[in-house]
Each structure stands twice: as structure tokens, then as C-alpha cells.
Amino acid sequence: MTFAGTRRRPPTTGDDVPKGPTSADVAREAGVSQSTVSYVMSGKRPISPETRRRVQDAIDRLTYEPHAGARALAGHRTSTVAVVVPVDPDSSVQRLMVFVEEILLAARRRDHDVLLVTADEGPSGLRRVAGRSLCDALVVMGVGADDDRVDVARELPLPVVFIGIPDDAEGLDCLDFDFEAAGGLLVAELADLGHRTVDVLGWGPDVTAQGVNFVPRFERGARTAAAERGVELRWHEPAGEPDVGRVVDGALASDEVPGLVLATAVPATFRALADRGRRPGRDVDVVGLALDAEAEPHGLTATSPRPRDVSRRVMERVFALLDGDAPPGGERELAPAVLLRRRSTRTTPAAG
């Protein structure tokens, strides 16, 4: 496994990106969207002859050429898959590395190496890796809801698979866990135990500020299930363990058995409950989104985001594209959410 950059890189230089006219210039000249230009060049989607002619005429007038290094990829195989996974020094990489480990194992089974790109370079990072003929395919992680890499991904002449679903996913290969179903499943579980009010410990401000795609998907599922079941959701974004304690105190102030949904802060929540002499599964019902390794020590009723399953599906898609067994673009697949009940929830509602 090759590691490329563990520190934030300076902005790319002119040697790293195409000079002269860009695909955005071609789009303006032809009077079409930039994604349409990308589709004409990549062949990923059918385009009408008239639109194709306008785009080609604009390319000819502007003498636009895609990056020479990227064009060369069509005839050169490196037996390498690049994984673009921006790593913030202040964030935990535990969950990310579970994804990466499975990608590495899947690549080795096909005699491929993995190039791990950890610098947060945005679109220029994709261009740099593809333009230098470093890999045969790209796996993109750390996907934002409004991700500025999607237009570049559509344009590149090599397979690109996203782990995550950006808002603008048209023409992209995107695979992920079904976070929306998970949010709904957890709220429904508490509703079935008789809870009419549920406190959700969502992701903190440091995560939500990044605009990651899975946060709004999880919240959408939770709120939809709450509306359908007549449940009031109290949504919290704890910034640290003291905030978690305050949320727990507020939930415990009710005369009824509290219900908690943990999107994060699993250890901190269980510590707070223990400090207050409350036992999950008896004095409070707790469900969460957590890896099995996080859930099992606490007996947490949970749905796992299934990182290994997601990564296996991603690599199956990558090699199907490389082998020519699948058409590029437009594949969207979600690993289903499955609830595993443990001792943090009661088996029946408490008597009223």
C-alpha cells in the first residue's frame, strides 16, 4: 500500500492541471451544462446528435484538450486503485480505516495495489492523481452533500466510485450504507417501545460544519419516522462530553422512561448514565448507529453502518468497471440497515 501525503498539501501548481480552455469554457461556448460536456467526452450517457455537434464545435473553436496524462490512462494500466480519503488531524480515523482495510484486501485479491491519498485537495486532487497516470480507478471518500468534486469525477476518463451520496449524484457511481433507513429504524424501535418523546444525540458542530452527506440523510429518515409514528424528536448536537451529560440530564428529568438515539457519543452517553445510576434497558432505552465493536461492549441495540460490506460492494463495482462488465455512471447502491437488539432496550414497554 502506498501512502501519498499525510499533511495538507499546498495548492496545486500550473503543472498539475490543464492549461488553456477548460470544460467550463466549452460549456459556456456551446450553451450547455458542464456535466453535458463531460458526458460528451466520456460517453457515460447518451447525448443527442445536435447537442454533441454543438459541444464538439465549441471544443474545436476553443482548441480544448483534456489533460494529456489523463488521456493516456486509456491505454495504460497501473494495477493500482487510488482511495481519496481526506483526513482531518482533529478527527478520529477509526471508522475510515475499517473502510480502507477492506478496500486493501479486495484489491490484493485482484493483484492490485492501493494508493492512499489523504490530503484535502478537493477537485484538484482528483485531477492530480488521474493526470499523472497513477491509478486505474478512483474511490472517493469523505463525500459532502454539496461536493465540489462531482463535476471533475464525471469528466475523468477512468472509473470513479463514491462512498457516499452527494446531492448531485447524476451520472455518478455511488455506493454507501442506507443512513436514511437507519435513522428511521432507530426511531421506530423506540416508538414501538411506547416512547412519544425521543432525544437524538446527533453529530457535533465540528462534523455538521463539514457538510458530510450522511448527516442529513440520517436526520431525514429519523424525522420521517417520527412524523409517521407521532413521536416528538428533540435533536441535539453535543460538542463534547459535558454537552452529552446535559442532554442525558434533560432526558432523565421526564417522569417517563427516556428514549435515546445515539448517532455518536456512545461511550460518553453510557458513562453519563452510569454516573447517574441509570441502567440502559431498565431505566432508559438506548439505541444507536454504531459499529459492532463499539456497540457490543455496552450491549447497545444498534444498526451498524457496515463499512466492510460497503467497501466490498465498492470494489466489486470498481473491478466490474475496469473489466468492462458494467457500464459507467449512474449506479447507486445502498447496504441495508439491520437492527441488532441487545440489552440497552427493554423487550416490552414499561407499564403506564
pLDDT tens sequence across 264-300? 999 999 999 999 999 999 999 999 999 999 999 999 9
Q: What is the mean pLDDT of residues 146-159?
A: 91
> Are 120 and 184 members of one domain?
no
> Are 326 and 230 members of one domain?
no
Q: What is the mean pLDDT of residues 124-133?
A: 87
> Are 188 and 327 members of one domain?
no
- Per-residue confidence band for 233, with pLDDT thresholds at 50, 70 and 90: very high
> Are 18 and 80 members of one domain?
yes
**DSSP per-residue letters across 96-119:** HHHHHHHHHHHHHHTT-EEEEE-S
Q: Flag whether 291 is in a domain.
A: yes
Question: Residue 42 pLDDT > 90, yes or no?
Answer: no
> Are 121 and 246 members of one domain?
no
Secondary structure string (H, E, C) spanning 168-208: CCCCCEEEEECHHHHHHHHHHHHHHCCCCEEEEECCCHHHH
Residues facing residue 212 across a β-bridge: 144
> Are 142 and 266 members of one domain?
no
> Are 169 and 189 members of one domain?
no
> Are 232 and 155 members of one domain?
no
Q: How many domains are there within the chain?
A: 2
Q: What is the mean pLDDT of residues 87-101?
A: 75
- Give the pLDDT confidence score for residue 90 in this predicted structure: 57
What residues make up the domain containing 107?
2-54+66-176+310-334
Average pLDDT score over the chain: 86
- Per-residue confidence band for 47, with pLDDT thresholds at 50, 70 and 90: confident
Of 116 and 18, the structure prediction assigns the larger pLDDT to 116
> pLDDT for 18-29, tens place per residue?
456 777 888 899
Here the CATH number for the domain that contains residue 249 is 3.40.50.2300
> pLDDT for 1-20, tens place per residue?
434 333 333 344 444 444 56
